[in-house]
């Protein structure tokens, strides 16, 4: 089990969350992996996605207008301070959510800022800082992250978005493994709608 996995999460079957990951207020889809030393907060993550080690998903802001930026200013009870938690700040912070689609690969050391959507099929290169939404099957990298290229031609992407294999049962995936290991054109031709 992760060092910190709260009861406020919904974790899909076959999801793998490393014991050193921290996951709070998050929905994780089927067979999605979250590696060591990741912090994932208030996010929705689709199925069959992978988040490499040392990633920060939904990098919340600190109250820079206050005398101190420290967490004790909104969660004093966590530090043994007998003062009520700042519910307004906590509600504001929790109103910001990240959405990560299915079949997404997020490389080592990526930071995804609040309110970002990373659509299905996308790749984010190691060390990137994502401040803007990423479209379907796009590859992004850098600081700040920028568009590099599409994973596939647009016609293939359109078909994959119709197929949406990530909603298939594991039995159907197992029955079609030869297509998953083969050429993308053969996969699309076999399953296009």
SS3 state of residue 138: strand
- 125 and 191 in a single domain? The answer is no
- 140 and 106 in a single domain? The answer is yes
- 55 and 147 in a single domain? The answer is yes
The pLDDT assigned to 193 comes to 78
Residue 70 annotated as catalytic: yes
The stretches of the chain forming alpha helices (DSSP H) are: 87-94, 154-163, 170-175, 177-180, 184-191
CA atoms within 13 A on the CB side of 122: 26
The pLDDT assigned to 90 comes to 83
The pLDDT assigned to 43 comes to 96
Domain annotation covers residue 80: no
Name the pTM for this structure. 0.90
The pLDDT assigned to 93 comes to 83
How far are the Cα atoms of 46, 87, 104, 166, 173 from residue 177, in angstroms, in the given order?
20, 49, 19, 13, 6
Residue 184 sits at φ, ψ, to 5 deg, of: -60, -35
Of 20, 70, 96, 119, catalytic? 70
Tens-digit pLDDT string for the chain (193 aa): 555 566 678 999 999 999 999 998 899 999 999 999 999 999 999 999 999 999 999 977 788 889 999 989 989 999 999 999 999 988 888 889 999 999 999 999 999 999 999 999 999 999 999 999 999 999 999 999 999 999 999 999 999 999 999 999 999 999 999 999 999 999 999 999 7
Q: What does the alpha-carbon distance between residue 123 and residue 148 come to, in Å, rounded to a whole number?
A: 10
- 13 and 54 in a single domain? The answer is yes
- 101 and 190 in a single domain? The answer is no
């Amino acid at each position: 089990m992760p060092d910190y996995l709260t009861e406020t999460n919904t974790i899909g079957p076959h999801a793998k969350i490393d014991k050193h990951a921290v996951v709070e207020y998050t929905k994780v889809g089927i067979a999605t992996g979250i590696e060591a030393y990741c912090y994932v907060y208030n996010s929705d993550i689709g199925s069959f996605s992978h988040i490499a080690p040392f990633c920060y998903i939904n990098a919340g802001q600190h109250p820079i207008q206050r005398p101190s930026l420290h967490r004790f200013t909104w969660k004093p009870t966590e530090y043994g301070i007998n003062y009520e938690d700042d519910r307004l700040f906590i509600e504001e912070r929790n109103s910001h959510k990240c959405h990560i689609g299915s079949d997404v690969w997020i490389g080592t050391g990526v930071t995804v800022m609040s309110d970002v959507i990373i659509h299905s099929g996308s790749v984010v290169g190691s060390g990137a800082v994502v401040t803007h939404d990423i479209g379907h099957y796009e590859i992004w990298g850098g600081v700040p992250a920028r568009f590099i290229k599409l994973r596939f031609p647009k016609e293939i992407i359109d078909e994959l978005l119709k197929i949406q294999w990530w909603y298939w049962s594991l039995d159907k995936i197992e029955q079609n493994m030869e297509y998953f290991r083969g050429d993308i054109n053969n996969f699309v031709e076999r399953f296009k709608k």
